[in-house]
Amino acid sequence: MVRLVVKQQRPFQLLLAVVILSLVVSALVWFYLDESHRAYVESRHVSSIESKQLLETNRRLMQENRKLNERLVMLERAAQIDSQSAAHMQNEIRDMQDEIYRLKAELEFYQGIMTSARGTDGLSIQGLYIEPMQEEQNFRFKLILTHVSKSDKVAEGQVEMTVEGLQNGAARALNFEDLALNLMPDMTFKFKNFKRLEGNMVLPEGFVPQRVVVRLHSKDKTVSNIKRVFSWSEATG
């Protein structure tokens, strides 16, 4: 005997199950997309913060670098100025030492003149001092004359000075008139006790001086002409 089985159809429940399944799937998809979007937004936000921090750090480092460069330039200028000042001071010290040495030599020269003048009488050539100038073969001379007399008589006359030496191995005598540098100094004298004659001279190139001959031609005919010879080393010593 055939049994008939009757199944009851439930279309509403099936539709409800499809709807619920769709909602669950949609919720899962939305949740996944929302999480991805939020993670993306957060990553962009973090990246923006990091970029700002990097930009701020870069700006700060550039400012510090500029300040350091300015400081370096200041220090270099200060060091350059200090170096120039030190060099200038060294030059001044060297010039002062040279001047002190020159003055000391000149003082000794005059002291020797005063000492030797004590034992002389009448007109005398007491000393000749020659010093080199900056230009080669240029010299400055100082000739000291004294006149020791019990009377108030004045010594008066003319000075003649000759430089003798070698020119290319041959003997040569040069008058001061031919050696005078710039203006010819007045080589006449008229004094009572002490007279200093000064002037500049330039020697010819290749001329080697050996001695200087000084002669005094007095206007007083009772006084003989006076002559004294100075070796070049003595006059420049």
Left (φ > 0), alpha (ψ -120 to 50) or beta: where does 155 sit? beta
Specify which of 56-70, 113-127, 212-226 reaches the highest per-range mean pLDDT.
Answer: 212-226
Query: How deeply is 181 buried, as exposed, middle or buried, from its count of CB atoms within 10 A (0-12, 13-18, 19+)?
Result: middle
Average pLDDT over residues 100-121: 59
Split at pLDDT 50, 70, 90, the class of 2 is very low
| pLDDT of 8 | 47
| pLDDT of 74 | 81
Per-residue tokens: 102: 């020159």
Domains of the chain by residue range: 13-118, 122-236
Whether the per-residue pLDDT at 207 is higher than 90: the answer is yes
| pLDDT of 45 | 53
| pLDDT of 80 | 76
Average pLDDT over residues 190-217: 92
Task: Say what percent of the chain tops pLDDT 90.
Answer: 24
Output phi, psi for 135, to 5 deg: -75, 140
Whether the per-residue pLDDT at 235 is higher than 70: the answer is yes
Query: Tokens 């003082």 belong to which residue?
Result: 107
Per-residue pLDDT of 17-57, as tens digits, reads 655 666 665 655 555 555 555 555 555 555 455 556 666 76
* CA angle at 23 for the pair 21 and 24, rounded to the nearest 5°: 65
Per-residue pLDDT of 64-104, as tens digits, reads 777 877 877 787 777 777 677 777 777 777 777 666 766 66
Task: Tell me which of 165 and 112 has the higher pLDDT.
Answer: 165
Kindly state which CATH superfamily the domain 122-236 is placed in: Immunoglobulins (2.60.40.10)
Task: Tell me which of 32 and 143 has the higher pLDDT.
Answer: 143
Per-residue tokens: 151: 């009377």
Average of per-residue pLDDT values in the chain = 76
Split at pLDDT 50, 70, 90, the class of 151 is confident
Kindly report the pTM of this predicted structure.
0.52
